[in-house]
Amino acid sequence: MRSVQIVHLDDIYPGWDGLRWASEHVRTDLLEPRALGRPGRWRQWDWSANRPGATHDLPADVRLIVEGVGSLTCASRHLVDVAFWVETPANERRRRALSRDGALYAPHWARWSAQEDAFIEREHPCDYADVVVDNAATRGIAAASSGWAIPSGIGTAPSGR
């Protein structure tokens, strides 16, 4: 069995204004080299020091999951095998973020949310997803129609691609 590495964009965003940079960085430094059979790399952000942290190399033969807003773009879609988009209403995203990170996140929510909104408007990541997961706490479970095995309790809908 091959190993799997998960890269969280929360570990890459260079501060509270870094969504666009992280999205480009993942594409150019991590995904593109791996698509050519070379190791990819990603730079961690040291949130406590508010500066760049360690750089991590990832061999091309290690399976990779990249998660977070900014990971799925028109320019990166051809570099991945399967793309998921998780759809959650803004009020639920805010509630979850603040319950997870509390006072640390609260003063930055509006500017981060504006970057997310701009990214979604610019990139339309849902249009490039093979599977769209309806992750709203208040919605029912949609029928799984993608052909992918999705854990129980997660609803999916085709992307319409």
pLDDT of 82-112, one tens digit each? 999 988 888 888 888 888 877 888 899 899 9
Residue 63 vs residues 10, 158, 159: alpha-carbon distances, Å: 19, 24, 24
Res 160 pLDDT > 70: no
Cβ neighbours for 20, distance < 8 A, ≥ 6 positions apart: 70, 115, 119
Q: What is the C-alpha to C-alpha distance for residues 117 and 83, in angstroms, rounded to an integer?
A: 19
Which percentage of the chain shows pLDDT scores above 90?
A: 63
Report the predicted TM-score, pTM, of the whole model to 2 decimal places: 0.81
In this structure, are residues 15 and 51 in contact, taking their beta carbons and an 8 Å threshold?
A: no
118 band by pLDDT with thresholds 50, 70 and 90: very high
Q: Distance between terminal CA atoms of the chain? A: 31
pLDDT, tens digit, 9 for 90 and up, residues 33-52: 999 999 999 999 999 999 99
